[in-house]
Structure 1
């Protein structure tokens, strides 16, 4: 499961689609609708939010908005709380840098045309607030 901390506009098609699918899986876990992935480390930060389901739904909304901008059709009705407020989940700059390097490595091979469009520095998805620090404890490098 890769729930990117990066702004969805940075994700290539494959990463955006995968993030949407995995976000829906995370939503199912957080709402108690599945028994799989309940201990996945990437869910720690959403569970720590005041309202975990609203947090993942805000995250999904951001993915859906980016998909719409690109002309993709992600089914907005799958988001349980479509107007959830931004939870401002902290993410470290080190985590953001790590994810961006990981994305750049993947995209350089599978979508070189997208790789050339990536900016030099990453930005975080609107669900997150960047704070100083290294790679997050839940990351499995």
Structure 2
């Protein structure tokens, strides 16, 4: 499971579909609707919030908006009520780690997208997140 801190515009088609599916799974975990993945480290930053389900719905909304802009047909009815004011911090080192991780994936599965992004200077974060100084997050599995 990978819930990217990066703006979803960086993801290729396979990455977008995977993110949608994995985030829906994360939502089911947070709602107590599945027994698997309960302790997945990617969920820690949502579990620690006052309204974790509302936060994951806000995240899903952002994915949905990006998908819509690309002409994809994701099912908006799968998104519940979103928390409108939620902000999650992400350390700068985490953002850079994720971008390098994505580039490795793109180099294999979408060389065109890889070439487009390999020299990207400023990395845009998903608007749900606020970048703070620091290294890779403690919950990241390296």
Query: Normalising by structure 2, what TM-score?
Result: 0.95
CA contact (8 A) 2:26 2:43 kept: yes
SS of the residue corresponding to residue 116 of structure 1 reads: helix
Distance apart, 1:43 and its partner CA: 0.3
SS of the residue corresponding to residue 85 of structure 1 reads: coil
SS of the residue corresponding to residue 72 of structure 2 reads: coil
* Separation (CA, whole Å) in 1 of partners of 2:121 and 2:111: 15
Distance apart, 1:100 and its partner CA: 0.1
Q: Tell me which residue corresponds to 1:107.
A: 106
51-60 or 110-119, which deviates more = 110-119
Is 2:20 the partner of 1:32?
no
Distance apart, 1:86 and its partner CA: 4.2
Distance apart, 1:114 and its partner CA: 1.0
In the alignment, structure 2 segments of 5+ residues that lack a partner are: none
Pairs aligned (count):
140
CA contact (8 A) 2:87 2:129 kept: yes
Deviations 1:38-97 (A, max 9, x none): 00010000011121001100011101100000010110000011x431411000000000
Distance apart, 1:120 and its partner CA: 2.7
Q: Tell me which residue corresponds to 1:98.
A: 97
Distance apart, 1:25 and its partner CA: 0.3
Q: Tell me which residue corresponds to 1:72.
A: 72
Is 2:121 the partner of 1:120?
yes
* Separation (CA, whole Å) in 1 of partners of 2:85 and 2:110: 30
CA contact (8 A) 1:86 1:126 kept: no
Q: Tell me which residue corresponds to 1:136.
A: 137
45-54 or 115-124, which deviates more = 115-124
SS of the residue corresponding to residue 25 of structure 2 reads: helix
Deviations 1:96-132 (A, max 9, x none): 0000000011101110111122233321101111000
